[in-house]
């Protein structure tokens, strides 16, 4: 079970990294299709934020189950690490967006 959670965390990180490097295209290519067909950036951000919230909730739920003794500690650690990795990815993306915005502001007119 813990191995699946770790693999899920690795896959989530790869998907997020691929999404950032390809401009939002995930494994399914749905985001790329949305961008090409005129989908808006806000819906892409909304879906990414929802995935982050779901991952964080899963980590919290596993922590609650550990407190009641219903979950294996390895599964709890894997879920919390997955949530932490997702948070770090979100922060890195945010920093890149802010940096790009600042670069745009510094461009000469």
Query: pLDDT by residue (tens digit) across 36-92?
Result: 544 687 888 888 888 889 988 998 999 899 889 888 888 888 888 988 998 898 899
The parent domain of residue 62 ranges over: 2-105
pLDDT band (50, 70, 90) for residue 9: low
Q: What is the pLDDT of residue 17?
A: 66
pLDDT tens-digit map of 85-94 = 988 988 998 8
**Separation of alpha carbons 74 and 66, rounded Å:** 10
- Is the pTM for the entire model greater than 0.75? no
Mean pLDDT over 88-108 rounds to 90
Q: What is the pLDDT of residue 72?
A: 87
Instruction: Give the chain's domain count.
Output: 1
Q: Count CB-CB contacts under 10 A for residue 42.
A: 8
Q: Which long-range contacts (CB under 8 A, 24 or more apart) does 4-10 make?
A: 5/75, 5/78, 5/79, 5/82, 6/78, 6/81, 8/78, 8/82, 9/78, 9/81, 9/82, 9/85
């Amino acid at each position: 079970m813990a191995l699946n959670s770790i693999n899920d965390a690795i896959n989530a990180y790869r998907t997020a990294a691929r999404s950032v490097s390809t401009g939002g295209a995930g494994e399914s290519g749905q985001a790329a299709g949305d961008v090409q067909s005129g989908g808006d950036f806000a819906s892409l951000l909304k879906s990414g934020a929802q995935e982050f919230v779901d991952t964080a909730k899963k980590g919290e739920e596993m922590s609650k189950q550990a407190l009641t003794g219903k979950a294996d500690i390895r599964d709890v650690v894997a879920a919390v690490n997955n949530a932490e990795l997702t948070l770090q990815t979100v922060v890195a993306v945010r920093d890149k967006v802010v940096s790009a915005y600042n670069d745009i502001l510094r461009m000469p007119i």
